[in-house]
Chain A
């Protein structure tokens, strides 16, 4: 530990972790030969170098997952390989990077720069590295950002041997694009954000290849397979958070327009709130209560599960020496009220360099037209033990 602090002083850093992960599926898979359990191992590291008094930085973050069951889930990625130069009022980055936009928890509508690494987890939190040139300028009037995104990353999907594929095998090797430039289409994005008192505001524009593929257009329902199609979109986004006392109030909204008349232009939004109880019932526990509502103008034709859905959740921080945490959430469809997803995420530290992460995802739906119906047989418990090194 002392060595790494000395290294940091010289502008060098290295750390990483290996996680052994075991998933146990509760129900039988309707397809023969697919196991109840899925074992995998994940490796993630970060190399870091800083020079010019910290004005220049290089970050390299490689990632590898090896899955015993699903060869599509076995994959490697460069999460980041990016150089950044920090000026007094600006920052210029070039390379493969990760950028997060947004404020809500149950859905990330506005966040559009990085592709979702869907095989990692279905919560949409894991992202693939995105090649980019990113310039930001900040002054008293806020932060102005511009992005050039010269290469497109395809969303990852579980293979035929995996679970959580919704009974649909996505043929990633034959992905189709609206743009004849396909993956080489250059996308652009811009964002303005500012903090004014208790308000945090972000307004964004994106023009280019949709990160979300259309899986229905070229679906072969009889064969149970599909080819993803990536249309061109223009998306305007707003993310707003009010932070006041113990309350957070959040809004994310988008308007997505298509060139291709095959697609309906639409608006979608998530609004929500978060309330924190510090020192629950005289203890040292902090309890965060979350409630969010998601709406999509396309209603039942929406391509996300969040077309008219409510989410409630609770986050309990034990504030103990092991940083134990528990997060519980329930998403319920308000149109098809029998469709719901429940998750539990818990983590604690077993030793200074060892943590345990437990996750439960439970899906329930009796409505065949609901997107969640396809995951009905794929509820699972996941136990991970993660070892950290530097």
Chain B
């Protein structure tokens, strides 16, 4: 279905641009569709993740986790995250089914009581494990989640970019506004600035060290989120990312959570 809407969108867009000068919203949506269409068909992947949380005073804590993701055609992706450090949370695992519209489905496995708990998912604005990343920042990119607008061209780190405003549709989002810098060569996001309800700058996300996988899919090794209000920051470094690892729907069954290691 996504293929269809995407293809349809592009056809519409071509027609539209042939007939009249496109609006900035149309151009924004076209860029977003291009971003999404370049990221269809990747299948499944596994990776290790090192998350470093830094307070304003420079106190640091490192969280290590592993994640497994499965692409779901026509909806958001499925993701399983297993925590390795700090050791007191080792064995905790988190299962999430992202949805293009509405709330995600989320389960957490608590090893101390061997209990799988389904949790309320209107937590998208809440911090992911005390980090500067909110749950929504780590959720899969879906067209339906945003209103797009093309704001202009700008070069960043010597690369030609467009600035795309992507304002969350969901009123439960922690942001009212977000602007993304997207390169026009491969349609990859390099920077996002987030604004809060009072329209003041809240956070900046820098995404770097892109690598090409399966000759088609770009994935960034590094993400840095800085919170301008608190002075805190979080780095995410991805390691050993591999695709086509043989994951299937049954690996993301809530019954399998307690076996996840």
Spell out A's residues near B (CB within 8 Å): 1, 4-5, 8, 13, 15, 17, 46, 48, 50, 57, 84, 86, 88-89, 91, 98-100, 103, 125, 127, 136, 138, 143, 195, 200, 241, 243-248, 274, 276, 278-279, 284, 286, 318-323, 349, 352-353, 355, 386, 388-390
Measured in the bound complex, the distance between the Cα atoms of B34 and A290 in whole Å is: 45
Decide: B122 and A100 in contact? CB cutoff 8 A. no
| Chain B nearest CB, measured from A378 CB (Å) | 23
Instruction: Report A-chain residues with C-beta under 8 Å of the C-beta of B48.
Output: 5
The winner among A143, A200, A276, A278 for most chain B CB atoms within 10 A is: A278
Tell me if A241 and B118 are in contact (CB < 8 A). yes
Q: Which chain A positions have C-beta within 8 A of B103?
A: 245
Smallest CB-CB A-B distances: 9 pairs = A388-B87, A278-B126, A98-B114, A100-B115, A321-B61, A319-B127, A246-B122, A319-B130, A245-B122
A252 to chain B, nearest CB (A): 13
Report the count of interface residues on B (CB-CB < 8 A). 43
Task: For residue B226, give the distance in angstroms from its CB to the closest CB of chain A.
Answer: 15
Q: Does B216 contact A (CB under 8 A)?
A: no
Give A84 to B119 CA distance when docked, in angstroms: 27
Instruction: Report the bound CA distance from A356 to B80 in whole Å.
Output: 28
Contact check, B87 vs A390: say whether CB atoms are below 8 A apart: yes
Give complex CA distance A256, B197 in Å. 53
Within the complex, the shortest CB–CB distance from B76 to chain A, in Å, comes to 15
Output the least CB separation between A385 and chain B (Å).
12
Interface centre among B59, B91, B122 (most CB of A within 10 A): B122
Contacts of B87 in A (CB 8 A): 15, 17, 352-353, 388-390
Contact between chains at B113 and A100 (CB < 8 Å)? yes
User: A390 → chain B, closest Cβ, in Å?
Assistant: 6
Instruction: Contact check, A320 vs B261: say whether CB atoms are below 8 A apart.
Output: no
Judge whether A321 and B254 touch: CB under 8 Å.
no
> Is the pair B86, A15 in contact by a Cβ cutoff of 8 Å?
no
Is B88 within 8 A of A17, CB to CB? yes
Q: Residue A279 contacts which of B121, B126, B253 (CB distance < 8 angstroms)?
A: B126
Q: Is B156 an interface residue (CB 8 A)?
A: no
Question: In the complex, which residues of chain B have a beta carbon less than 8 angstroms from the beta carbon of A48?
Answer: 261
**Candidate in B88, B117, B256 with the most chain A CB atoms within 10 angstroms:** B88
Q: B127: nearest residue on chain A (CB-CB)?
A: A319
A1 touches which one: B84, B118, B261 (CB < 8 A)?
Answer: B84
The answer to whether B12 has its CB under 8 Å from any CB of chain A is no
- Residue contact A88 to B248, C-beta cutoff 8 Å: yes
Q: Which of B113, B121, B125, B261 has the most CB of A within 10 A?
A: B261
Complex Cα spacing A84 to B261, Å? 13
Instruction: Determine the distance from Cα of A286 to Cα of B128 in the docked complex, in whole angstroms.
Output: 11
B208 cross-chain contacts in A, Cβ below 8 A: none
Chain B nearest CB from A262 CB (Å) reads: 33
Residue B200 interfacial (CB < 8 Å): no
Interface of A is mostly: strand
Pick from A138, A244, A353: contact of B255, CB under 8 Å: A138
A90, closest chain B residue (CB): B250
Which residues 115-164 of B sit at the A interface, judged by CB distance below 8 A? 115-123, 125-127, 129-130
CB pair A125 B113 closer than 8 Å: yes
For A241, list chain B residues within 8 Å (CB). Answer: 118
B174 touching A279 by the CB < 8 A rule? Answer: yes
- CB of B127 within 8 A of CB of A284, answer yes
A247-B53 in contact (CB<8A): no
A200/B118 contact (C-beta < 8 A), A1-B64, A321-B55, A352-B61 known: yes
Known: A138-B250, A246-B122. A91 touches B259 (CB 8 A): yes
Q: How far is the CA of A125 from the CA of B90 in the complex (A)?
A: 19
On whether the beta carbons of B88 and A386 are closer than 8 Å, the reply is: yes
Residues on A with beta carbons closer than 8 Å to the beta carbon of B90: 15, 388, 390
Let me know if B123 and A4 touch, CB within 8 A: no
A100 contacts which of B62, B114, B127, B253 (Cβ < 8 Å)?
A: B114
B118, chain A: closest CB distance, angstroms:
5
Q: A248-B118, A286-B123 are in contact. List 12 more A-B contacts (CB 8 A).
A: A1-B64, A15-B87, A143-B253, A195-B105, A195-B118, A243-B105, A276-B123, A284-B127, A355-B88, A388-B87, A388-B88, A390-B87
- Output the nearest chain B residue to A102 by Cβ-Cβ distance: B115
- Chain B residue nearest to A275 (CB atoms) is B120
Which single residue of chain A is at the shortest CB-CB distance from B128?
A319
Interface flag for B85 (CB, 8 Å)? yes
Q: Is the CB of A4 within 8 A of B84?
A: yes
Q: Would you call B89 an interface residue if the criterion is a C-beta within 8 Å of the partner chain's C-beta atoms?
A: yes
Contacts of A247 in B (CB 8 A): 120
Are A8 and B84 CB-contacts (below 8 A) given A57-B261, A99-B114, A136-B255? Answer: yes
Q: Provide the bound-state CA to CA distance between A8 and B84, in Å.
A: 10
Nearest residue in B to A127 (C-beta to C-beta)?
Answer: B114
Given contacts A5-B64, A8-B261, A98-B114, contact A278 B88 (CB under 8 A): no
Return 30 A-B CB contacts under 8 Å, by A number: A1-B85, A8-B84, A57-B259, A86-B256, A86-B259, A91-B259, A138-B250, A138-B253, A195-B118, A245-B103, A245-B120, A247-B120, A248-B119, A274-B120, A276-B123, A278-B125, A284-B127, A319-B130, A320-B130, A321-B53, A321-B59, A322-B61, A349-B86, A349-B88, A352-B85, A352-B86, A353-B86, A355-B88, A388-B87, A388-B90
B83-100, CB under 8 A of A: which get 1 and which 0?
011111111000000000
Chain A residues with CB below 8 A from B117, complex form: 103
What's the Cα separation between A355 and B126 when bound, in Å? 23
Most chain A CB neighbours (cut-off 10 Å) among B55, B62, B121 = B121
Q: What residues of chain B lie closer than 8 Å to A322, measured between beta carbons?
A: 61, 130
The CA-CA distance from A247 to B261 in the complex, in Å, is 30
Q: With the chains together, A247 CA to B121 CA distance in Å?
A: 9
